[in-house]
Structure 1
Amino acid sequence: MLLSEELAFQEVMKSYTEPLLKIAYLYVKDWQVAEDIVQDTFLSYYEKFEQFEERSSLKTYLVRITINKCKDYLKSWRYRKLFLTNRFSLTKKEQAHLVQQEERLDIANAVLNLPLHLREVVIHYYYEELSILEISTILSLSDNTVKTRLRRARQLLKEQLSMDEWEVLSNE
C-alpha cells in the first residue's frame, strides 16, 4: 500500500469509527463486541478497498459491512454462549444497577427490544436521521418495505411505552 493510500485509510478510520461504533452497539448491545466488529469492518475495507465501486457513499458502504458483521455475530455460537452465561452470573448489586439503568432508559430499551429488522429501521431513521431512501439503499430494501417496517415499529413502541414516553416520540 502506498503512503497516500495509507493516509487516506487513516482518515477514513478517523471519520467513521464513532458512527460505526454507535451502529454496531445498537445491534449487539455490547461496547467491546461493537469495537471488535468495527475493527473487522475496517479490516475488510482495508483488504478489499479497491473493490469499492462508489455506487453509494463510503459511509453507506461501511455501514452495510458493519450491519452484516453485526448480524453474523448475533447468529454466532459465541454470542449465544455469552448471552446464556452472563444471564445467570450477575450479582445482586449488578442487577440493581441494571434495573436503575432500565428505569432511566425505557425508550431506548423499547427500541432495543424490537425485532432486529424493525430496530435497524428505527435506528437509522431516528438516531442516524437518514431518509427513507437512504435507509432503503443501506438495507437493500424497497422504500415501501422501509415505510412498513417503520410503521410496525411505531405500533410496537406505542404498545410497550407509557403514554408520557410515547408522547415524547410522537412529537418528534
Structure 2
Amino acid sequence: MDREEKDDILEKIMIDYGNELVRLAFSYVKDAELAKDIVQNTFIKCYQSLESFRFDAQIKTWLYRITINESKDYLKSWHYKMVQVKSFINETAKAILPSIEKTVIAKYEQEEMKDMIFSLPKMYREVVYLYYYESLNTEEIANVLDISVNTVKTRLRRAKKKLALIIKEVEPNGR
C-alpha cells in the first residue's frame, strides 16, 4: 500500500467516522477538546497500522476499539488523575473560601467599626454602645446615664454624623 493510497483511506475514514469517534471519546472523558485530541491520536494510530489491518473485521469496529483504548489510557494516566485532584481541590476551595473570606471580612469590619466608635468622644461613644450593642432604647439609656431622652436622641444623631465623617475619611472612594 503506497502513501497516497494510505492518505486517501485515512481521509475517507476521518470523514466517515470522525464525529462518531469524538462522541464516543467524549462519553468517556467528558471534555470536547480532549475527546478531539483522543480521536486525533486514534487516527494517527490508524494511519501507522493501516498496512497491517486485515480488513476481515469492520474498520469501524477497529476504530472504536482504538478510541476506547485511548480514552481508557487517558483516564488511567497520571495527568488525568492530577487534573481530577486539582479540580477537586479547586471546587472544595471555592466552596470553603467564600465563607471563610466573608467571616474574616466581617470580623475585620466589626473591629474597624469598634475602633471608629471608640474614637468618638465619650458622651457619644456611650450612647452608641448602649443603643447598638446593648440594644437599649432611648428611655432606658436616659435612665442609665441620668440624662433626658431628647439628649440621648441628640447624642445619637451627632454620633452618627461623626461616624459618617470618619467612615468617609477611612474608606477609599467612599466604597
* Higher RCO (Cα < 8 Å, 6 or more apart): 1
How does the TM-score come out when normalised to structure 2? 0.49
